[in-house]
Chains A and B, each alone.
Chain A
Amino acid sequence: MEFNEHKPIYLQIADNLCDKILGGEWQPEERIPSVRELGTLLGVNPNTIMRTYDHLQSLEVIFNKRGVGYFISKEAKDTIIAAQRNQFIQEELPKILKKMALLGINPSEVLI
């Protein structure tokens, strides 16, 4: 996995896992790798993966069955899409609109 320079690693891993869920590689209610398995796979500190899983658990994207492992929530896809739509509208779209205004691009020019 390639990491970029800006976001904390635990969030970058979380984004990557969300992409796996959206892309259908990981299905709802499926068991996902353990903290240690994923740490080994990525060569990342297990405590970092633990933070990723805590984060995804607080967003209700995954859940923990005690003694069994972590699973994808039933509603995971919808939860991720809602969160990402929100983020796009609040953070990314304003930047795009600003740049378009700067370059004098009219929305009708780019809308297909």
Chain B
Amino acid sequence: MLKIENLNFSYSKHEVLKEINLNLECGKIYGLLGQNGVGKTTLLKIMSGLLKPKSGVCNVLGYNPFKREPGFLQELFFIPEDFVGPDIEVNKYASLRGAFYPNYDGFKFSKLLTDFEVDGRSKFTKLSFGQQKKAIIAFALSTNTKLVLMDEPSNGLDIPSKSQLRRIISQASTDESCIVISTHQVRDLENLIDPIIILDTNDVLVNASVEEISSKLKFEFRDTPDKEALYCEPTLGGYLTVNRNETEVESKVNIETLFNTVLMNKKTIKQIFKK
């Protein structure tokens, strides 16, 4: 569905992405993680054709995104982190913009708006940041495009909306579509994002399903610290540790702990996840 090969990108002299290789498949909800400034948003913008790579290949559904051909644009939706809507009614916006997406479903849009408790008769300019964001997420998932890219979708959402968001995204995912969510708020989306991609400036450190991660790494809670562990972090009443999983038994993958483990052991992790 999406293939990136030896991709390079820089903002004038500032190199952001170096020799990135990445393969994304249909039917998955990817979580794109990485420290500030490694280029998560840049990567999403390249995938959606908003930025042109300096060199390398980015192929989405057989298209070169930067050519911005209609056949490509009608199968893609990109939700930026800071969406600000125009001065028109939400419903009006959806029906106007929906016309560009052959699989747009107006009923689904009304239902999702109701789930999110957003009034479609209000103008975007009368809505709060979080409400505008919910409106655009509802619209994005009603276009039924093959690829949906979301940059920090849970930012700005209130507490009840976050579990709504998980439900709505889970519901929207199909065997033919691919959803990529870039986020720092891993707790908001835990149990939803799978596979997990961890991006570094010049490398994709991990691109693996939760199943693969838990078969290769063991997440444990211990009473005493473990000096041999790949990662050990004091927590309430004990220590969270991560080791290689030498057994058949799987543990629960804690994404925050995974992220810290990967950053501290880049080389070892690459080796553990080598295919």
Shortest distance between the CB of B106 and any CB in chain A (Å): 20
Interface centre among B29, B166, B170 (most CB of A within 10 A): B170
Residue of A nearest to B215 (CB): A8
Known: A48-B191, A48-B210. Is A43-B251 also a contact (CB below 8 A)? no
Task: Count how many chain A residues have C-beta atoms less than 8 Å from C-beta atoms of the other chain.
Answer: 21
Shortest distance between the CB of A92 and any CB in chain B (Å): 16
Q: Determine whether B203 belongs to the interface, using a CB cutoff of 8 Å to chain A.
A: no
A42-64 vs B, Cβ < 8 Å mask (1 yes, 0 no): 11111110010000000000000
Q: How far is the CA of A41 from the CA of B179 in the complex (A)?
A: 19
A5 and B173 within 8 A (CB): no
Q: Among the listed A6, A36, A43, A51, which residue makes an inter-chain contact with B191, where contact means beta carbons less than 8 Å apart?
A: A43
Q: Determine whether B254 belongs to the interface, using a CB cutoff of 8 Å to chain A.
A: yes
Q: How far is the CA of A36 from the CA of B172 in the complex (A)?
A: 9
Can you give 26 contacting A-B residue pairs, CB < 8 Å?
A3-B252, A4-B252, A5-B221, A5-B252, A5-B254, A6-B221, A8-B252, A8-B253, A12-B252, A39-B170, A39-B171, A40-B170, A41-B167, A42-B191, A43-B166, A43-B167, A43-B191, A44-B170, A45-B29, A45-B173, A45-B194, A45-B210, A46-B173, A47-B209, A48-B194, A51-B211
Which of A's residues lie within 8 Å of B, judged by CB? 3-9, 11-12, 36, 39-48, 51
